[in-house]
Amino acid sequence: MTSAADFPPDFPPDFSVLGAGVAGLCTATALAERGARVELIDTDPAPRGASWYAGGMLAPFCEGEAAPEAVVQAGQLACDWWAARVPGVARRGTLVVAPPRDRAELDRYARATRAHERVDPGALEPALAGRFATGLHFPTEAHLDPRAARRALADRLRGLGAALHFGAATEPRGRIVDCRGLAARDRLPDLRAVRGEMLIVEAPDVTLTRPVRLLHPRFPCYVVPRADHRFMIGATMVESDLTGPVTARAMMELLSAAYTLHPAFAEAQVIETGAGLRPALPDNLPRVIERGDRVFVAGLHRHGFLMSPHLAETAAAILTKENAHADPA
Amino acid sequence: MFYGTDLTSRLMLGTAQYPSPAVLAEAIAASGTQVITVSLRREGPGGAGFRDLVAASGCRVLPNTAGCHSVSEAVTTARMAREVFATDWIKLEVIGHADTLQPDPFATVEAARILCDEGFEVFPYTTDDLIVGEKLIEAGCRVLMPWGAPIGSGQGLSDVGALRRMRAHFDGVPLVIDAGLGAPSEAARAMELGFDAVLLNTAVARAGDPVAMARAFGQAVAAGRAAHGAGLMEPRDMAAPSTPVFGLAVL
């Protein structure tokens, strides 16, 4: 799939963004919005990458449980950034619950995070009434459907005059901005894979309106509502770069967690299973890296939709400033 | 001595559940540990990226069979670990129950016998049961790793009497308290009781500040070991003033 728009041979693009996952789409968008001439290149005719399997939670405060403060800070930009560009950003917060015997996990989570309040889970999500005595609500957080958001952002890019080259071997003609995810390991040897496995189920008997995280000492999980009673259940974190389908263990753990959240998930139909490889740097902190003649937006780890807006704006600011110096006209 | 290896630090650290490999590396350095355990079962051959980062710590790796529920799984995992890490050391863990993570003593003894015969140097995760300990020694183990409390529970030393008996019974066998510790004071207590080392993971990895907690555990283990060496006083029923009271003026 190559968009009709292309730049003529005698007037090439300023920037060639490699990789049309969430990082590439956001970075191309930030550049195009600054008036740059941008092409977005992906060798896959239907680009997927790790963000294809994402939960789509814009939850900087929840992520702060394990992520560095930089993610909590930068991630707070994500909600407004996405809402200004794509439809379907639901600002309904995040609900965190724990089974009664794992109450200590909830207390620990509350200590490790901020911007939350104690709630009766059933008051927020009637489907959970009577199942959990107490929960944490992070009211400023949001979620979106990652695949729909990616499609909307790609359409928007075309509208901004960017050229999208998917599938064909396209020689980049502008300054290279490398957003290839794990594939950038060939130039960033510090990158490693953290495998994540997820499921999408259709559960007509369950209604949830916001992402719910279930804390469990061994397999924490989250359930993100999508349209039409579909739910994304994620996600494992395995220090492995094995590709291939979801394992039976992962499926059992994810489903048993979903079942703990609501028994009606036992009757759900499993629509899809998926496994992706998250690109991660040793400190798991996503960042913009300038190395050689390339600028990388790298190591998004589990923060693709949360951190791409901030990194995209950072990279675009660096690149367009350079460009202005190179071409004062 | 653990299979002929002397360790100056008596803290062994697990490597799971840290916020990032970078934090793990800092925690290892802060704790002063010389031995880290790494699991293989779940990550499998695809985990090289993480293992390379762990190897960069310079610590001796004690691979473990965490997550194995049968003799054959544990033996296969141990053989794979020997290839991957190029060491004969193996922390043998055969779990009997997925929920409590209690070791299966029967399968552990059987797997230990097979692995010892193959030249492995086995560190078996076991309960505080004396007979199971004897069977493990009989199978060829020269170290025992009794639990303090169930894995990840943070309950500390839940049966001090049993651990004392174990220490007394296995005089001269290196004993490592493995699992269940929540606070540095509990690690110090284990060392004061005469145990040779402690192994822990969750209490450090999931602390608010894993690096500071790793340092605290390192200090506690060193303090407990020094105290044991110095000879602890026995508790007494009556107060015993450290300066004489006889002859003081009664006002």
Torsion angle in degrees (nearest 10) through CA of A16, A18, A20, A24 = -80
Which pLDDT belongs to residue A300? 97
For residues A66 and A200, membership in a common domain is answered with no
CA closest to B24 among chain A residues:
A283
* Shortest CA gap A238–chain B (Å): 6
Mean pLDDT for all residues in chain B: 92
Which pLDDT belongs to residue A328? 46
239-278 of A, contacting B, C-beta below 8 A? 239-242, 249
* Shortest CA gap B39–chain A (Å): 10
pLDDT in tens, A220-273: 799 999 999 999 999 999 999 998 999 999 999 999 999 999 999 999 999 999
Give the C-alpha separation, B163 to B46, whole Å.
39
Q: Which among A308, A317, A323 is positioned nearest to A24, based on CA atoms?
A: A308
Give the C-alpha separation, B177 to A121, whole Å.
40
Which of A68, A111, A240 comes nearest B43 by C-beta?
A: A240
Give the C-alpha separation, A1 to A158, whole Å.
13
Does A186 lie at the interface with B, CB-CB under 8 angstroms? no
Choose the final residue of a domain: A280, A300, A315.
A280
For residues A174 and A202, membership in a common domain is answered with no
For residues A1 and A112, membership in a common domain is answered with no
| Residue-number span of the structural domain to which A242 is assigned | 94-139+192-280
For residues A28 and A84, membership in a common domain is answered with yes
Which pLDDT belongs to residue A216? 81
For residues A270 and A210, membership in a common domain is answered with yes
Query: What is the ipTM metric for this complex?
Result: 0.81
Choose the final residue of a domain: A239, A262, A280.
A280
For residues A219 and A115, membership in a common domain is answered with yes
For residues A158 and A200, membership in a common domain is answered with no
Among chain B, residues having any CB pair with chain A shorter than 8 Å are 19-23, 25, 42-50, 53, 152, 206, 208
For residues A310 and A253, membership in a common domain is answered with no
CATH number of the domain where residue A159 is located: 3.50.50.60
CB B146 within 8 A of CB B194: no
Which pLDDT belongs to residue A100? 85
Q: Domain tally for chain A?
A: 2
Interchain CB distance below 8 Å, A193 and B46: yes
Q: What is the phi-psi region of residue A42: left when phi exceeds 0, alpha when psi lies from -120 to 50, beta otherwise?
A: beta
Which pLDDT belongs to residue A4? 47
For residues A242 and A302, membership in a common domain is answered with no
Q: What average pLDDT does range B238-243 have in this prediction?
A: 73
Interchain CB distance below 8 Å, B50 and A282: no
pTM of the predicted model as reported, rounded to 2 decimal places: 0.87
Q: Which residues of chain B make contact with A193, given a CB cutoff of 8 A? A: 46, 49
Q: Which among B160, B156, B162, B191 is positioned nearest to B7, based on CA atoms?
A: B191
Residue A196, pLDDT > 80, answer yes
pLDDT in tens, A2-45: 444 678 888 899 999 999 999 999 999 999 999 999 999 999 99
**The one catalytic residue among B10, B51, B82, B91:** B91
For residues A164 and A60, membership in a common domain is answered with yes
For residues A135 and A209, membership in a common domain is answered with yes
For residues A42 and A67, membership in a common domain is answered with yes
Residue A84 confidence class, pLDDT cut points 50, 70, 90: very high
CB A143 within 8 A of CB A211: yes
Which pLDDT belongs to residue B250? 63
Interchain CB distance below 8 Å, B48 and A241: yes
Which of B19, B25, B43 comes nearest A238 by C-beta?
A: B43
CATH number of the domain where residue A99 is located: 3.30.9.10
Which pLDDT belongs to residue A5? 66
103-132 of A, contacting B, C-beta below 8 A? 108, 111-112
Which pLDDT belongs to residue B88? 97
The residue ranking higher by pLDDT, A313 or B233, is A313
Residue type (1 letter), A160 = L
Interchain CB distance below 8 Å, A240 and B46: yes
